[in-house]
């Protein structure tokens, strides 16, 4: 028995089963009656049994044909269901998008972009996972997220990277601090100031420490992973700190001020990252394209 049955052969079987006439079934399958007869004969050869009893007037299923009919209808239904889902996905009526993103961008920027996308495609399932840059990369590699958004480029051998924009850094300080009265802060203005630092493994620390080295900033002894913790320590008088633009919202405390750093080097890249060489789903590809074509976000407000 040959198990390599084609969809065309199954369609021919179902057409003959329904019409019970070779001429009508051939017309439905858009072939000549002789070609259709050959298709049925080949199908019976493949399954190794006669599927139809036929004479000059009647066509009916054999017992083996009844068995084959059950499977043929199931296969046809599954194909119709798959085609329907694919058509829905292609027209953005179905699908899922999962994005892994760092906390500062998850606080406001990405939710706004997701809301814009949902307004255009309300039936697509949207999921957002926030975490460290390393966790975002891991989720993309494991297929748990379609793509990630962070401040770090993925390894070129494993990821495709697209720079979305660059965000400024802001000094977080008490409103009574001399820095709070300025419209902008130079790196030299931070000389010998006591700092509350982000953890060493974070991109903020890795990007800013080389720039702060010349200012010889003092270490408060506090090293935290969350921007809310930074704000709490600054508000409690443990020093000042530097955070990226979109983390300013996470540092909101009464009595704190956010002042932009005036340095072309004090900027943080925001990068989209996806697995190299693998296609995104139609839904994920549409959201990727929306972000890639989107406007740069507005600058954060001065006071946090």
What tens digit of pLDDT does each residue of 272-298 get?
999 998 889 888 999 999 999 874 444
DSSP-derived secondary structure for 112-134: HHHHHHHHH-TTSEEEEEE--HH
Question: Which range marks the domain in which residue 61 is found?
Answer: 7-90
Instruction: Indicate if 259 and 177 belong to the same structural domain.
Output: yes
Give the tens place of pLDDT for each residue, 45-98: 988 899 999 876 788 999 998 999 999 998 888 887 777 677 666 656 678 999
* Residue 261 dihedral angles phi and psi, to the nearest 5°: -85, 125
Six token digits for residue 253: 């405390």
How far apart are alpha carbons 153 and 168 in whole angstroms? 18
Say which CATH number the domain at 53 has.
1.10.10.10
Place of tokens 């080389």: 210
Instruction: Indicate if 156 and 283 belong to the same structural domain.
Output: yes
Instruction: Indicate if 221 and 159 belong to the same structural domain.
Output: no
Does any domain span residue 303?
no
The C-alpha angle 108, 113, 118, rounded to 5 degrees, equals 125
Please report, for residues 5, 6, 47, 52, 278, the alpha-carbon distance to residue 2 in angstroms, rounded to integers and kept in the order given: 7, 11, 6, 18, 34
Instruction: Indicate if 247 and 123 belong to the same structural domain.
Output: no
pLDDT at position 92: 63
Instruction: Indicate if 137 and 172 belong to the same structural domain.
Output: no
Question: What's the domain count of the chain?
Answer: 3
Give the tens place of pLDDT for each residue, 219-236: 899 989 899 999 999 999
pLDDT at position 297: 46
How far apart are alpha carbons 72 and 65 in whole angstroms? 10
pTM exceeds 0.75 = no
pLDDT, greater one: 196 or 215? 196
Which of 50, 65, 90 terminates a domain? The answer is 90
Does any domain span residue 137?
yes
Beta-ladder partners of 161: 273
Does any domain span residue 302?
no
Say which CATH number the domain at 157 has.
3.40.190.10
Does any domain span residue 300?
no
Instruction: Indicate if 257 and 279 belong to the same structural domain.
Output: no
Give the tens place of pLDDT for each residue, 105-126: 999 999 999 999 999 889 899 9
How far apart are alpha carbons 165 and 267 in whole angstroms? 10
Instruction: Indicate if 120 and 62 belong to the same structural domain.
Output: no
* Residue range 253-281: mean pLDDT, rounded: 93
């Amino acid at each position: 028995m040959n198990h390599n049955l084609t969809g065309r052969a199954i369609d021919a079987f179902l057409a003959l089963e329904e019409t019970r006439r070779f001429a009508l079934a051939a017309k439905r399958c858009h072939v000549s009656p002789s070609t259709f007869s050959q298709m049925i004969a080949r199908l019976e050869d493949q399954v190794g049994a006669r599927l139809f009893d036929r004479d000059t007037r009647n066509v009916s299923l054999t017992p083996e044909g009844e068995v084959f009919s059950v499977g043929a209808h199931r296969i046809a239904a599954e194909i119709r269901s798959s085609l329907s889902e694919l058509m829905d996905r292609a027209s953005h009526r179905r699908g899922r998008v999962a994005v892994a993103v760092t906390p500062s961008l998850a606080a406001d920027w990405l939710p706004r972009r997701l809301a814009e996308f949902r307004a255009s495609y309300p039936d697509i399932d949207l999921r957002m996972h926030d975490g460290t840059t390393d966790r975002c990369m891991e989720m993309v590699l494991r297929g748990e997220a379609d793509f990630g958004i962070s401040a770090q480029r993925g390894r070129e051998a494993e990821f495709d990277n697209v720079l979305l924009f660059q965000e400024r850094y802001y000094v977080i300080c008490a409103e009574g601090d001399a820095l709070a009265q300025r419209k902008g802060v130079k790196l030299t203005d931070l000389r010998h100031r006591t700092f509350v630092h982000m953890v060493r493994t974070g991109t903020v620390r890795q990007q800013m420490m080389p720039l702060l080295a010349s200012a010889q900033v003092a270490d408060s002894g506090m090293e935290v992973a969350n921007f809310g913790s930074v704000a709490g320590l600054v508000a409690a008088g443990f020093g000042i700190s530097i955070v990226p633009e979109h983390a300013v919202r996470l540092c909101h405390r009464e009595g704190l001020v956010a002042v932009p750093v005036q340095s072309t080097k004090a900027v943080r890249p925001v990068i989209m990252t996806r697995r190299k060489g693998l296609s995104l789903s139609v839904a994920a590809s549409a959201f990727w394209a929306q972000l890639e074509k989107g406007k740069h976000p507005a600058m954060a407000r001065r006071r946090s």
